[in-house]
Structures are given as C-alpha cells and as structure tokens.
Structure 1
Amino acid sequence: MSHADRMASLIRTAAREARASAMPTPVFSQYRRYADEGDRLGYEELYFRRRRHVTALAAEALIDPGADPAALQDALWSVCDEYSWALPAHEKQAVDMGRGMDQCLDLFAALTACLLAETVQQCGERLDPRVTARVRAEVEHRVLTLLADDERPLPWESWPDNWAAVCGGSAGMAGIALWESGPRLERLLDRCRRAMRTYLSGFGDDGGCAEGVGYWAFGFAHFVYFAEELRRLTGEDLLDDPKVRAIASFPAVVHLGEGLFPAFSDGQERPDLPAALGCFLTTRLGVELPGLAPVTEMPGDWPDVTRTLRWGTLPAVRGANRSRTGTSWLPDLAWVVDRGESSAFAAKGGHNDEPHNHNDLGHFLLAAGGEVLLTDLGAGEYRKGYFDDDTRYTFLHNSSEGHSVPVVASRGQSAGRRRAARVLRCEPGADGVDYELDLTAAYEADGLRSLRRRFSWRRTPGELLLTDEVRAEHELTVDEVFVSRIEPRWEGSHAVWEGKTARARLAVPRQCVARDVETLHTTDHDGAPDTVHRLRVRFTVPAGTTSLRFTCTLQGR
C-alpha cells in the first residue's frame, strides 16, 4: 500500500468521525487563559481540533467528489466566524502593527488561509457560492491583503527560521489558489519569494537546522510545497540550488539510527516527518528521509495531507531506520554525530542565541539499542514566558541545568550571541571521532580562566572518554551534570542507567567531593508529566589546571 492509499483510508475514517460529532466551539474562557495564566494548551487543543475537523471534511471532498458538502460548508462558515485565526500567544504580531486580531498573520493564520483557499478552489461549484464568496473575502482580509496591499514588513519576514517558510509559503499558496495572474498576485509572490530567501539564509552551507529536525520538517516542508506551486505557475524553480539539496539532506546526516534524532534546542527524539515531504525528496531530489514511517493518523496541516495524496506513490513501508555508520560533521552548526551498528553519539557547539536556543554548549547525548540513555530533553511545554528573553532560561528545558554541561562556581551558562563555543578540533577516525571545544565564553564565573571539553568517542565497543580541562585563578567548585529520563543506580564508583534495550555505565572519578541524583518533575512539550534525573558530581578544583575525566561505556542487554 502506498502512502497515498494509506492517507485516503485515514481521511475516510476522520471524515466519518467529523460528521458524527459537532465541531468544537471556540470560547473566550479558553482564549484568555494564555494572558491570565500563561497556559497555551487549553485553547490550542480546541483550535487544532477545529482545524482537523475542517481538514478531514475538505480532504474527503477531494477523494470523494460525491460526498455531501453540507458539513464541510458549515465548518468553513464557522472558521470564517472566528475572532482570530492566530493563536493567543501570537497576539503581539497584530498589536505591534496596530491591527486587530482579525488581521494577526502568524503561522496558523497563514496555514488556515491555505486550507480554506485550496478547499474552495478544488471543490469549485460543489460549494454554495455564498460560502465560497465568504471564504475568499476572509482569506483576503485576514492574510492576503497584508502582503499584497500593505508595504509594511511583517516581523516574521526578517526571521531566518521556520516562520518565514511556513507563513510565506502558506500565504503564497493561498494567493495562487484564489487569485488570477495580475499585479496583486505578483506583489504577494514577491513578498513570499523574499520570505523564502530569508528562510534559506538561516542555514549554513552544511544545511544544518539549529532548531532541530522537527522544526526542519515544519519549515522545509512548507518551503517545498510553495516552491512546487510556484514552479507549476511560473516555471521558476526555487529548489534548483545546491544549498537546498544540503538542507534536504540534514535529517540523514544527523540520524542516530532506529528513527532517533538529536533533540537539541526545542527538538524531539522522534519528530513527525511528513510522508509527502519524504516522497517528494526521494523522487525529485534523490534524497532519502530516514525514519519515515507509514502514516497512522491524519496530519494536522492541510498541505501535508493533500501533498501526500498527490506525491505519495512510494510504498508505505518503514523507512531506513538504520543510518550508515560513521561520522557526520556540520561545521556551520558545530554538531557532530557518530553512528555505530547499535550505538550513537552526538555533541554540539554553536552559540547561546540560536533559534529556539538552549544554553547548551558542549552538551552531548548517547544512544544504544534504539533508545537515548543520556539525553537532551528537547522542547518543554510552551507557556507564557517561554520565548521571552528575561524568563526563557528559568525553564528547565532551556537552561544549562537541563543539559549535560558543567556548572562552574554554582553558575550555569549564560545566554547571548557572544556566549559561543570555539571548535578546537574535530577529527573523525576509522572507529569514532575526537571533538574538542573551548567553552570559556559560555560562563560568567569569577576565577575561571578557561574551560575546554574533549570528547573521544569509539563506536566499537561504544565508549566515550569525556575530559573537562579547567584552568582557575583560585579554588572553584565544578559540578559535572549528566541528564537522563532513566534513573541511575550506583555500582560502587559507577553510575548505571539501565534502559529497556541497553545501558550506560559511567566511571566517576574518585576525587569528587560529592555526588547525588536529583529527580525533577516537569512537563513535556505536550503538557504531559515528565520526570528527569540529573546526576550531579561535584569537584573542588585548585588554582591552576585540572583535568576531570569520565569514561562512559554502552552495553546491549
């Protein structure tokens, strides 16, 4: 069965469920919770249920032209009634422009415009003309006119991240769906092209995405979707660029095997990868998207659904979950990833002002047997303050205390572009990699002269030698921190993390003055309870140079 066939089956199931249930009603008591309490998830869960309801009925109309359009028309009409197509957390996008929330053009307003515009375009005369006219008017008023008729730049047009691709791409697709060729469409497309250039400027020549593979998929998929619509309309090919091929290859370069990826920044270990994007990259660019599994539920974004129907001719079998062995080095991103047959290592440099930044210079992870033992927590729950400069690093997931990095004189790493790791060397070998970073600039600790972190990783048998070299003007405390979702136990001077399929065993130096395990209770990105175990090993280092060495071995069970 192809990805397209699986998607068609999922659409029919989702449409039956949508017809059997009422479309959720947006309520002010949920909308206000972000401003009042900092909670995003309550309103967003309702919002995205509404979008899934519309998407299911609209997609059914594509695969079954004889379907009764009554429920779809009601759903489209209801979306046109909404106070805002944007999320409460993004109100600033309108307020700063002096606009009402009916003209707040964020990610999800743009996605909504694309959903509604392509639906009325593709359904044609099957929809009541009054519904079609209202949809057209609302899409123009809420989204298209802001780009075609107002020259003031929108904030995201200068952001070299997923916002530029998703907002620009979705708005562009909506315009192509609704407007005939003419000056307004040309002005709109010019703005969208510029947004795409801004998006691509956020990548170095290595194609790496500092936001992680999940946000790579979100941004790059919508870049591709828009690029193909533009090519169909004008013949212009935004994909005819060597940099685009490097960006397309990013997941394959950093894949840890078994469908796992580094969850650096606000990433995920197992991100959802759109089947449409995977099929397109394989057939158009010859680039494989590792970890691509058959879709088991309808995606939330309309283009992911419709492009899977259009491009998903490949067999829906589990993708290449095992990467090639060897070392990948992304010099612009300063990530190194090394994969063995059953184990993997990844570490990062960079700076502490990256998109979706975490204060995590020198952070690393170890995986074996298809699970991550020493981990990156990835994205926390997005709440009020999560993206504010003055409060972002009070959240565990974003602070250096949520990462396997040193704490010097009770101080973690500081934020800012000048808080950068300097790469001293990266030397891949026949059986691993040696990677060394100067982390001194990340710390504001009185008496710290320098801090260098060296990784010596050997994939056979799966062993990491970690050395932190500290130069101090006077006596300092240094806490070495190791983060996992598995609670370690002690075996003499060794800490052991026992996973389901493998374990990690860390030799702790005897000169440590204290060691303990902190168990922290937090919430994950979806708001579900999450338990984090943080091993902290304390040293008192004298004036001069001290080397702190740890050996961690991975073993299968």
Structure 2
Amino acid sequence: MADPGLPRPAAALTSLVRDIHAAAAEDAMPELTFAAYRDFADTGNRLRYEDRYFRRRARLAARAAQALLDPGADLGPLADTLWSVCGEYSWALPAHERHGTRPEQCVDLFAAETAHTLAETVAGLGERLDPRVAGRVRDEVERRVFAPYADERPLAWEGFGNNWEAVCGGAVGMAALALLGGSPGDRERLGAMLDRSRRAMASYLAGFGDDGGCAEGVDYWVYGFGYFVYFAEALRAYTGEDLLAAPKVREIAAFPHRVALGGGAYVPFSDGSERPWLPAGLLTRLSERFGTPPPSVVPSLHDDHCYRWGHLSRTLSWHRPLPVPDEAETSSYLPDLGWAVHRGRYAFAAKGGHNDEPHNHNDLGHFVLHTHGESVLDDLGAGEYTAEYFRAGRYDALQPSALGHSVPVVDGQAQLPGRDRAAKVLHHGLDGGTLCFDLDLTSAYRVAGLRSLVRRFRWFPEGRLELTDEIDAERALPIDEIFISRRRPVLSAASADWDGLVRLVRSLPQASVEELLTTDHHGRPDHVYRLRCPVLAPAGRSVHRFVFELR
C-alpha cells in the first residue's frame, strides 16, 4: 500500500509547488468530445485530442499533488476531477487503441499512467476522500486496467523491449502496489501482477546493449527508464528485492550524461530533442544509487507536457540537494549503439547503428556540430506524430527520412530502412586528442555499381571537423552530399557559412540551399535548410573531403 500523503518537498521545489497550486486552481476541465475523439481516425491528427487529454491530466496531477501535500486542502475540486476522469470513454489515446481489443480496456502507456495516478491518490488520501469517489476510482481502475492485466492473454506491447514495457508494466505494477494486498486473495493477485511487471522489466532491460545506450534517445530514456526506476524502488520497498542491482542498470543510468553536449543540450538522435527534460526526482535517486550527476535545474510542473504522476510525485518525494561529482569525461563512445560524442567548448556527435532501431531514422553516418549552445549542423529530432508517422508513410516525413539528415545521396538514392541496413564501425579512438571515427555505410544503399562507401570523421576539439567520404564504384556515380541545419547557410565560391557559427571550407561551385517548412513534434512550424553539394565519384576509388570550422 502507498504511504499516506507526500513528504514536505525540498526548499528548492518552492516554484514547483507554486505551479501545482496555480494549476489546481484552474476551473475548467477540457471536454473530450466525440468530435475530438474521432479526429485521429478521420484525419490522422493526434494533437487536437491529445491537447485536451493532457490538459485534463494536468488538472488531475496538480489537484492530487496539492491534496497529498496539504492535509487541510479542500478535496471538492479533486473529487470532481477524479469523477470526471472515471467517466472518460477510454484512458488510452485514440492512436493506441489498436493495441487493445476494447477501447475502455486498452492498457496503453496513458491508461497505465492514469491508473497509477488514481491508485496512489486514493490510497494516499485514505478516509479523507469521499468513499463514493474512492469506490468509483477503485472500480474503474479494476475494470479498465487490472482486469486485462490479470488476464493471462498477452498484451500487445509485451515483447516490444522498449519504453512501453517499462511504462506500462511499471505504472500498472505501482497501481497494484497502491490498491491491492489488503486480503489473502488480494495478495495472491498482487503477486501475479507483480510477476508480470517483473517480466516486462526484464524485457525492457534486454532491449539495451551492455553500453547502456538508449537508441530511442534521451527523451525516451527519461520515459522508459524513469518508470523502470520508479517501479523498481516501489518493489524494493515492498519485497526488498532490488531491480537496480542488475549490472546493466548502472550503464543505463549514465546514458544521458554520456551523450550530453553541454549547457543542458544532448545528442538529439532518433525521435529525441536537443533539450529534453530530465526529472529532478529521477536524477536525484540515480545520483544516490550510482553517483551520476544530480539535477541542476529547478523543475516546473509544465516541463512534462503529459503531466505524468510518476515523474511529479517522485520529484516531490525524492529531490534533495546533493554534491556534484567530479567533471565528466569529455569523450564518450557507445559501441552497441555506434554513437561517438565529444564535448568541450565545442561539441561533436556522430552515429552508426542500423536503420530499424526503435523510433528509427534513416541516418547512418549522420553527425551534429554544436557551438554557442546550439546544434548548428543539426538533427531534427521527432516530427509531429501522426497516423502515418508510425505506419508505411513514416519515411515520407522529413525528420525520419535520410533526406532530413547530413548523409550522402548516391545516384539519386537515399538510405533505406531495415535491420540489414547497418553501419559497420571500422575504427574509433583518440589520437593525440583528435577523435577518429570511421564507418562503413555501404549496406545503407541499394545502388548498382556502388562497391563501398566509407565515412571517416576526424574531430579536433579546438573546433574543426574533417569529414571524408571514400567511395569505390564500378561506374561513375553522382553524389549529393547533404548537410542539415535550422540556419540558412550563405554560399560563396569557396565556402558555406552558417551565421558565423560554422563554416564549411570547400569549393562549392554547384551547391544549392533548399528551404523546407515542416512541423516539429508539437505541431509548430519548423524551418529547415538543406545544403546540397554535388560531387562526382568516378569509376574506381575516390575521396571527397569536407572541412568544417566552428567559431
């Protein structure tokens, strides 16, 4: 059972508590109309419904936190909110309902999170909450989530080996810990549900290599690993077993720090972002357990646009001041992912991997150049999630397509998706301070006459990248070398210049710049500039060298 209430939060969280009170005071709960619900099926648009859904979750999380922080709080508004959430047609998102047989019993990420929020709220408030409200909450959690979870039939996400397993298994497991266990029959049922959650956690961990790297990017590390840690610590409190003791977990805990670019920026590969939000409670607990850096930013309630109870409640419960460890290493290499990162005054990152990763982008050999707090040669991260983004039309979207990355187009052919489209790491190492990273990209392409394409990076920490593409061809092949930025480069006969931040030093007689207007992950306009530098690879072996200078 959950402990009643929440502990008095650390003084550093004063602004977070203020955010909670302000959000709890807002009156209206956005209505989830049928028109909004059917929008995804009719148009493929997710954002219009999800905006309303997550504003409702903001009210729920804020009012639950306020009630659990303040024993004297008026529970009337929270009771109304709980009652309203219990009346929703489905706790799952319309985009996810294909993962269940019935919408109202679809255990997706957000149905599981909703059950977790409601369960810990009701358990924590105990007799303070009107029994009619508490009884309805328990009934709805049972009907919508516990019943399908206790059923032995497989759930759609079991076996995914990604964030779904950790979030769904962790959130349902924590909900069960909060509400079950009061009778022998309950305890037996709880044990079976916890076993299912343990299996989900084992599958989640199996999705990582020994380097602890998260192919989905830092944002999804926060999501999946966050819920893994929250469940692991709840399970440890209940049984004494420690899922965090698994050897791989220490490496996973270090992942975001190994792909940091500096100043709060991180490598934005896959469906990630350059400035992800890292929950303060999660970082605190990992720092205590593994010595990783503690949080350096005071959190806001609105950092998480989905208003997840796991992140909020554990930040309120766990966050405390901790000493900052010694300076982290400047160079990181994740051999299972095939990511190389170097940070300092300037930062550089490049990736290998394969083109069937979770939240995959066709991006073998892609790289980022970071200066003055910005990735100038950039990765676009996640696009707007629509129906087609996770179906056959995924690579028609700019962000996951090869044409949205700084990788070559060979004889008009971009990189292809698939597990067999893999970069082979030929070499990685430091040579007198210079980072050397060589990748064989040949299998990424299906081009008649292309025998091999090897991309070599030489990164000099003083702000210089030498990029060399070595091509072996049976016939002459036209190559478009592509470089992606959100800044428009200015071209001259001997260079391309991105606002004085990065300069490409090379004769560019045929180079051109394309302006592309897309939408970002949140549906906002996103201007992208694609520099095309045509070269001709003659029959036989040829070398094509590009030098970038950072300022």
Contact kept in structure 1, 2:24 and 2:66, CA below 8 Å: no
Measured in 2, the distance between the counterparts of 1:456 and 1:549 equals 11
1:64 matched to 2:60: no
Measured in 1, the distance between the counterparts of 2:139 and 2:196 equals 20
Measured in 2, the distance between the counterparts of 1:4 and 1:325 equals 30
In the TM superposition, residue 44 of structure 1 has moved relative to its aligned partner by 0.2
| Secondary structure in structure 1 of the residue aligned to 2:446 | coil
| Secondary structure in structure 1 of the residue aligned to 2:203 | helix
Contact kept in structure 1, 2:487 and 2:528, CA below 8 Å: yes
| 1:383-425 Cα deviation digits (max 9, x unpaired) | 111011x211010000000000000011100000000001111
Measured in 2, the distance between the counterparts of 1:16 and 1:261 equals 31
1:487 matched to 2:492: no
1:358 matched to which residue of 2? 361
Contact kept in structure 1, 2:46 and 2:386, CA below 8 Å: yes
Of 113-122 and 175-184, deviating more is 175-184
1:496 matched to which residue of 2? 497
Measured in 2, the distance between the counterparts of 1:289 and 1:391 equals 40
Residue of 4, 17, 20 corresponding to 2:10: 4
2:5 matched to which residue of 1? none
Matches within 5 A, 1:444-523: 444-460=446-462, 462-498=463-499, 503-509=501-507, 514-523=510-519
1:368 matched to 2:371: yes
Measured in 1, the distance between the counterparts of 2:470 and 2:193 equals 54
The 3 A distance-change label for structure 1 pair 324 and 227 is closer
Measured in 1, the distance between the counterparts of 2:56 and 2:363 equals 37
Measured in 2, the distance between the counterparts of 1:17 and 1:259 equals 26
1:52 matched to which residue of 2? 58
| 1:531-554 Cα deviation digits (max 9, x unpaired) | 000100011222111111000011
| Secondary structure in structure 2 of the residue aligned to 1:506 | strand
Give the letter aligned to residue 317 of structure 2. Answer: R
Of 357-366 and 442-451, deviating more is 442-451
Contact kept in structure 2, 1:107 and 1:167, CA below 8 Å: yes
Contact kept in structure 1, 2:13 and 2:298, CA below 8 Å: no
| 1:10-62 Cα deviation digits (max 9, x unpaired) | 34443344334211111111111111111100000000000010111110011
Matches within 5 A, 1:325-474: 326-340=330-344, 342-388=345-391, 390-460=392-462, 462-474=463-475
Normalised TM-score (structure 1)? 0.94
| Secondary structure in structure 2 of the residue aligned to 1:239 | helix
| 1:148-207 Cα deviation digits (max 9, x unpaired) | 2x1111121101111100000000000000001521101100000000001001111101
Give the letter aligned to residue 307 of structure 1. Answer: R
Matches within 5 A, 1:216-235: 216-235=221-240
Contact kept in structure 1, 2:477 and 2:538, CA below 8 Å: yes
Measured in 2, the distance between the counterparts of 1:81 and 1:406 equals 52
Residue of 517, 521, 524 corresponding to 1:528: 524
1:544 matched to which residue of 2? 540
Residue of 5, 8, 21 corresponding to 2:27: 21
1:112 matched to which residue of 2? 114
Give the letter aligned to residue 373 of structure 2. Answer: G
Residue of 284, 290, 297 corresponding to 1:279: 284
- Percent of aligned pairs with the same amino acid: 54
1:88 matched to which residue of 2? 94
Matches within 5 A, 1:101-250: 101-148=103-150, 150-180=151-181, 182-250=187-255
Residue of 316, 336, 339 corresponding to 1:309: 316
Measured in 2, the distance between the counterparts of 1:114 and 1:346 equals 37
Give the letter aligned to residue 196 of structure 2. Answer: R
RMSD of Structure 2 on Structure 1 (CA): 1.7
Measured in 1, the distance between the counterparts of 2:227 and 2:13 equals 19
Contact kept in structure 2, 1:338 and 1:432, CA below 8 Å: no
Give the letter aligned to residue 434 of structure 1. Answer: C
Contact kept in structure 1, 2:9 and 2:317, CA below 8 Å: no
Give the letter aligned to residue 37 of structure 2. Answer: Y
Count of residues paired in the alignment = 537
2:39 matched to which residue of 1? 33
Give the letter aligned to residue 327 of structure 1. Answer: S
| Secondary structure in structure 1 of the residue aligned to 2:158 | helix
| 1:444-480 Cα deviation digits (max 9, x unpaired) | 11221110100011102x1110000111111111000
Measured in 2, the distance between the counterparts of 1:46 and 1:14 equals 18
Measured in 1, the distance between the counterparts of 2:330 and 2:17 equals 40
Give the letter aligned to residue 155 of structure 1. Answer: A
Measured in 2, the distance between the counterparts of 1:323 and 1:41 equals 40
In the TM superposition, residue 344 of structure 1 has moved relative to its aligned partner by 0.7
Contact kept in structure 1, 2:414 and 2:445, CA below 8 Å: yes
Measured in 2, the distance between the counterparts of 1:12 and 1:455 equals 48
Measured in 2, the distance between the counterparts of 1:492 and 1:520 equals 23
Contact kept in structure 2, 1:257 and 1:323, CA below 8 Å: no
| Secondary structure in structure 1 of the residue aligned to 2:458 | strand
Measured in 2, the distance between the counterparts of 1:411 and 1:432 equals 32
Contact kept in structure 2, 1:523 and 1:530, CA below 8 Å: yes
Measured in 2, the distance between the counterparts of 1:289 and 1:337 equals 21
Measured in 2, the distance between the counterparts of 1:521 and 1:454 equals 31
Measured in 1, the distance between the counterparts of 2:422 and 2:19 equals 50
Contact kept in structure 2, 1:12 and 1:60, CA below 8 Å: no
| 1:271-294 Cα deviation digits (max 9, x unpaired) | 01001101111122221157x411
Normalised TM-score (structure 2)? 0.95
Give the letter aligned to residue 204 of structure 2. Answer: Y
